[in-house]
Amino acid sequence: MSSLLTILFRTTAILLSLVTALAVAAPLAAAPQPAFSPFGDTKYPPGFEHFDYVDPQAPKGGRLRLASLGTFDSLNPYIVRGLAVVPAHMALTFDSLLTPSRDEPDSFYPLLAKSIDIAPDFSAVTFRLNPDARFADGTPVTAADVVFTATAMREHGDPDWSRRLADIAAIEATDPLTVHVHFKAANLHTVPIAISTMPVMSAAWWRGRDFEMPGLDAPLGSGPYRVARVDAGRSITFERRADYWARDLPVNRGRFNFDTISVDYYRDRDVQFEAFKAGAYDFREEFTARIWARGYVGPAMDAGLIRRDQVADERPTGIQAFFLNLRRGKFADVRVRRAIGLAFDFEWSNKALFFGAYERMASIFENSVLAAHDNPTPAELSLLEMYRGRIPDAVFGGPYRPARTDGSGVIRERLKVARDLLAQAGWTVVDKRLVNGAGEPFALEFLTFEPAFARIIQPIMDNLKRLGIAVSYREVDITTFQTRVDDFDFDVTSARFILDATPTTELRDLWGSGMADVPGSQNLGGIRDPVVDALIERMIAADNRRDYMTAAHALDRVIMWNDYFIPQFYKRGRTIAWWDRFGRPETEPVFDIGHIDTWWFDAARSAAVDAGKAP
């Protein structure tokens, strides 16, 4: 056993055997709750039969074939090292204490936990486990497994999970089925979400293994699927567990209907699409406007074998942007960052490259009620006034809107504004080169692993060159790219981060100062802003949606007006295509597509497709 795991198991044993001396739990509520929302209201009553967005009579059977871009060498997606299988796919093998409904923004219902008991001041929470819960090998899921997982994830997991669980002061198993968690501070209403949704692993399975080491052994879970086959770097297949302990719980009725779910990995986006048209896999979400506009042609489309749709999605679309590495001094001045942003002509790109499919991103919470697209309310102004002098004055005015062009591609006047901003920041053009007062040139490298992004990056590079910036383009393989990004070894890179409908502690990983220098964190830009930190904590601590949204709007304004990155583009809905082999519920979830867990295999439709006929 590695020394790290020895320490981890000793720590877990101590927590199991001793009453924590770190804090005394606050009195718990009089009765355990059957569900949890940080703001107190949930849709489904105790004893509900199933979620509204499923068909409880959906047949079981068949297969769903998916595809992913990249490669993998690890089946543990909760650590920094290695290239892991897509976390959402590995999550099929794990259960959590509670599970979210996908037609509510912030409600969670019993899964491994039979009930949740929250202290009135939210300083502590107690989970009572379902005595029927079992791992895939038939062993019971116990409080010790929850304690082990939380300890491993908090102390040795990737920065996202370690930061989400950082509010835990102590966690202990008070008996085999009871987990008590005490938090470092009281009145943080959204903090229980992290421990509630954490994937629970088997402490016994990890004994003798190093949690931080990547590998192709599938960790033991208690979820609806198990890993059946792995072709390292190329594909993974999950099979539905006929003995899944929670198959008849209300939260699972009508869900997880496919016997097998397989995922093939592709290195090239265009090759991946051609494989879809050839029938190599069944479902894809389309992220490339060029392909959506012109690629879906051919015999399968003509025969009606492939269907397309744009589905609603009420989650924040997340942030897609060119991230500037603020750890490098040349990006420290907001005027420099704003000047670089002016070189991105979104309107021309949208017309010439994206077939008008996108809108310009203007919020870290785009496509949701959390986006600050209106003038500040009195409540927001009152909150922002606390930080006057430490935030841009523009925050107190109208909403943030990126500068627009006419789409012609001629942005000479805009580049003049950029040139003046650079001059104000101490950068001037000498002999056609942008240099600082010491004569040092301004050099900038765009890092990517996707050939498809070259056509998006090249126009902004051309405009930056007109400003005298020495610009270069570096395309590397996915492994090298991930290593460089994890180590913050880049000038500019493009990335997208998705958010839950009610983001909370994960915001620390995206924007918080504490994660700016933690390898593998999602704070790619390296933002270190005490005001941003304070507003994130206000969101986490909010005890009602009104205050939560006020803090979210304020955070949005502060981040966007500081030009910490160059916002790119988004779509209001999600564009999907699939071979017409499946049944779908009449009601769809509004916070998810639902293809993996609510669709089902329709044998008759599939037979028609195989015969070359539209179902």
What is the per-residue pLDDT across 256-267, written as a single tens digit (0 to 9) for each? 999 999 999 999
pLDDT of the residue at 32: 76
Q: What is the pLDDT of residue 316?
A: 83
Structure tokens that stand for 72 in this block: 């993998």
pLDDT in tens, 500-531: 889 999 999 999 999 999 999 999 999 999 99
Written in H, E and C, the secondary structure of 126-186 is EEEECCCCECCCCCECCHHHHHHHHHHHHHHCCHHHHHHCCCEEEEEEEECCEEEEEECCC
Quick: pLDDT tens for 551-603: 999 999 999 999 999 999 998 889 999 999 999 999 999 899 999 999 999 99
SS3 324: strand
Question: Mean pLDDT of all residues in the chain?
Answer: 92
Please give the structure tokens belonging to residue 212.
């931080």
Over residues 380-399, the mean pLDDT reads 97
Residue 419 reports pLDDT greater than 90: yes
Length of the chain: 615
- Distance between CA atoms of 325 and 487, rounded to whole angstroms? 11
Do the beta carbons of residue 289 and residue 354 sit within 8 Å?
A: yes
Structure confidence by residue, pLDDT tens digits, 477-498: 988 999 999 999 999 999 999 8
Domains of the chain: 1-313+573-615 (3.40.190.10), 319-570 (3.10.105.10)
Sheet with strand 124-129: strands edge to edge: 113-118, 124-129, 178-183, 168-175
Percent of the chain as helix, strand, coil, to the nearest 5:
30, 20, 50
Whether pLDDT at 4 is above 90: no
What pLDDT is recorded for position 31? 62
Please, which residues have CB within 8 angstroms of residue 423's CB and are 6 or more apart in sequence?
A: none
Helix axes 412-424, 334-342, angle to 10 degrees: 170
Distance of CA 603 to the CA centre of its chain: 34
The confidence band for 14, taking pLDDT boundaries of 50, 70 and 90, is very low
Helix, strand, or coil (residue 401): coil
Range list of β-strands (E), 480-553: 492-497
In angstroms, rounded to a whole number, what is the distance separating the alpha carbons of residues 363 and 556? 6
pLDDT band at 3, cuts 50/70/90? very low
pLDDT at 97 over 60: yes
pLDDT at 16: 39
pLDDT level of residue 312 (50, 70, 90 thresholds): confident
> How much is the pLDDT for 317?
83
Please say whether the dihedral angle defined by the alpha carbons of residues 251, 256, 262 and 263, taken in this order, is positive or negative. negative
pLDDT at residue 181 tops 90: yes
| 293-318: average pLDDT | 90
Mean pLDDT score, 456-485: 96
Residue closest to 98 by CA, chosen among 220, 222, 223, 195:
195
